[in-house]
Amino acid sequence: MRGDVEANACAAALPWACFVAFRHTGYCPTLVVSFGGIYGEQYWYHEMNVWEQERLMRFHPNRPVEGASLRSHKAHYDDYHHVAVATTATELYRAGVKVSAGAHGQLHGLGFHWEMWMFAQVGRQDQPSMTPCRVATH
């Protein structure tokens, strides 16, 4: 558990988070494919023209990218499940749990960036969204 988070503050915020934090374990929500609703990868296929990312299209097979992004599904922002999962992950982080980003191979080269952007979407500004990236790569 981070030294700047007091045990009583942790218990008041999320009692079960203390169990995780004091056991020195972490949480990797993998927002791009969070189950329970429309997952984060679908959000980005809707929000950006993925097929226009030249570097991605040069190094990644085009057919899967085009198939997923040219005909994306539209939904209200609140219907994307990554918002709820990222919010919970941020609450866990603020309670002292180590939270990391992990795209686990979804759309190589772009998926991990989406993870960081999704953390930033829910206000993870108290600790820059790059922190999970630094932790995961060292």
Q: Scanning the structure block, which residue is given the tokens 């079960």?
A: 16
Q: 102-129, pLDDT tens digit by residue?
A: 877 788 778 888 888 888 888 765 554 4
Cα distances from 112 to residues 9, 10, 19, in angstroms, run 31, 28, 28
Average pLDDT, the chain: 77
CA–CA distance, 8 with 135 (Å, rounded to integer): 26
Query: Within 10 A of 10 (CB to CB), how many other CB atoms are there?
Result: 23
Task: Report pLDDT for 77.
Answer: 85
Residue with the two structure tokens 């040219």: 70
pLDDT of res. 131: 55
Is the Cα dihedral 105, 121, 78, 85 positive or negative?
A: positive
**Lowest mean pLDDT: which of 60-64, 109-113, 131-135?**
131-135
Beta strands in 1-127 (DSSP E): 26-27, 98-99
Contact criterion met (CB below 8 Å) for 96 and 17: yes
- Using one digit for the tens of pLDDT, what is the confidence trace for 28-45? 888 999 888 898 999 998
pLDDT more than 70, % of the chain: 72
Name the one residue in this structure whose structure tokens are 């997952």: 39
